[in-house]
Structure 1
Amino acid sequence: MADQPDDLPVIEFVAPMPGFPSQLRFVLVRLDDDGILSALTSVDDPDLRFLVVPPAPFFPTYAPEVSTESLELLGATDPDQILLLLVVTAGESLAATTANQLAPILVDQVSRHALQVVLTGSDLPVRAPLTTSA
Structure 2
Amino acid sequence: MSGAPDEPRGAEDRDGADLRFVEPLPGLGGHTRFRLTPIPGVPGLHALRAVTDDGDGPRLFVADAPALRLGYEPDLPAFACELLGGGDASSLRVLVVLHPADEDGPLTANLFAPIVVDPATGAALQVLLEGSPWPLRLPLIDEGGAS
Q: How much has 1:8 moved relative to structure 2?
A: 4.2
Q: Which range moved further: 47-56 or 57-66?
A: 57-66
Q: How does 1:1-134 map to 2 (within 5 A)?
A: 8-44=16-52, 46-92=56-102, 96-132=106-142, 133=144
Matching residue of 2:10:
none
Q: Mind listing any 5+ residue stretches in structure 2 that lack a counterpart?
A: 1-14
Residues in 1 aligned to 2:86 and 2:122: alpha-carbon distance in whole angstroms: 10
Q: How much has 1:130 moved relative to structure 2?
A: 1.7
Q: 1:86-124 deviations in whole A, cap 9, x for unaligned? A: 11011049x810010000000000011000011001231
Give the % identical residues: 35
Counterpart code for 1:25: R
- State how many pairs are aligned: 127
State the TM-score, normalized to the length of structure 2.
Answer: 0.77
Counterpart code for 1:41: R
CA contact (8 A) 2:112 2:135 kept: yes
State the TM-score, normalized to the length of structure 1.
Answer: 0.83
CA contact (8 A) 1:37 1:53 kept: yes
